[in-house]
Amino acid sequence: MTFQQVYGYEPTVRYSAPGRVNLIGEHTDYNDGYVLPFAIDRRTVASIAQRDDRVLRVASAFDPSSVVELPLDELSPDRMDGWSAYVFGIAWALREHAGADLSDKHGFDVFIESDVPVGAGLSSSAAIECGVALAFNDLWELGLDRKTLARVGQYSENHAVGAPTGIMDQSASLLGEQDAVVFLDCRTLDTAVVDLALEANGLEVLVVDTRVEHAHATGGYKARRDSCEHGAAVMGVEALRDLSVEDLPRAAELLDDETFRRVRHVVTEDQRVLDTVRTLREDGPRAIGDLLVASHESMRDDFEISVPELDLAVSTAMEHGAVGARMTGGGFGGAAIALVDREARGAIAEAVTSAFAAAGYREPTVFTVHAAQGARRD
């Protein structure tokens, strides 16, 4: 299905934004910590045409029979439902969070298509939000910078969609660059682009989509966030970002076991992000493997967000020669990543697929991704 088939005419402009892989730094973002994602060469495309009235109409390739419309004057989270909230929510958040005056703005017809896998932990949702945010910002001539648009995307996801996510996904999708990671301080929103240099080192990132789907707007993610906020309150800090590894013995005395393990994951994960940035700069990508594995073990044992399929993907990749591997994304399903030698990619992918079959799991989708440019007008 295409824009033309749905609306009966051709779009006037296309914007696209990438999904992301988080190299390291999981569940640190909403704790004011550090993350290290990169934009990937899988993108969501928003085809758009201006309307003469003040109505937003939205359709997508994933649900081509459904065209949803909402007047700009009626934008409200209680009027949004399902995947279209990712589009309507951006217009609403531009007004409510960024203070954009939409009173004289025209509506659009929007058609969304994507090759970012849904439910795989590669942030298909932020790809929609960021492509649409960049488009609306340009076409309505709002003049907002990309860091502001990232906050708009997060505000929309938190308050229109109802998923309590941090700002990492939107920052990666808007700020990503070729063969580089985005080092983001989630408290200050300061960013630095750090060379990954995978190409020069003969390395690739292999993604294993377990096809175990997760949903951030429900249970497990919120429970982890609540634990982190409780831990910070007991420790007397604004956010877990304010604790260091040296604070963990005191935390063990003050917190119940489960909350302590949640806190320990975030505190040690923040340190692993800093260590990974330093290692990439000083020694290159072949030296970060142990940090990736330690991150996975922490998510599995302390944060308890892995699933058996993710653990099998990581262990199998490592047994067959990966430099490092870990689950990526919010957990409870989704994808694992493995940093692999280019020539070993096929063998590792085959080994993982065989291991899933032997365990009786659903066949995973295995593919490579490359660090790519962020959101753009195409």
Residue 124 marked ligand-binding: yes
Residue 29 marked ligand-binding: yes
Strands (E), 61-209: 68-71, 108-114, 180-185, 191-195, 203-209
Residue 188 marked ligand-binding: no
Beta bridge partners of 59: 111
Residue 177 marked ligand-binding: no
Residue 122 marked ligand-binding: yes
Residue 221 marked ligand-binding: yes
Catalytic, 378? Answer no
Burial of 282: CB neighbours in 10 Å, binned 0-12, 13-18, 19+: exposed
Catalytic residue among 32, 109, 169, 302: 169
Cβ atoms of 372 and 178 within 8 Å: the answer is yes
Residue 214 to residue 196: CA distance in whole angstroms: 29
Per the rule left: phi > 0, alpha: psi between -120 and 50, beta: everything else, 101 is: beta
Residue 157 marked ligand-binding: yes
Residue 19 marked ligand-binding: no
Torsion of CA 289, 293, 295, 300, to 10 degrees: 170
Residue 121 marked ligand-binding: yes
Residue 125 marked ligand-binding: yes
Do strands 365-369 and 191-195 pair parallel, antiparallel, or not at all (unpaired)?
Answer: unpaired
Two tokens, residue 53: 């009235």
**What are the counts of helices (DSSP H) followed by strands (DSSP E) for the chain?**
11, 12
Torsion of CA 35, 39, 40, 44, to 10 degrees: 120
Residue 123 marked ligand-binding: yes
Residue 368 marked ligand-binding: no
Please give the C-alpha separations between residue 21 and each of 152, 322, 337, in angstroms, as whole numbers: 20, 17, 8
Two tokens, residue 109: 């017809």
Binding residues: 26-29, 60, 119-125, 157, 221
Binding residues for Mg(2+): 125, 157
Q: Where in the sequence numbering do the catalytic residues fall?
A: 169
Binding residues for ATP: 60, 119-125
Binding residues for substrate: 26-29, 221
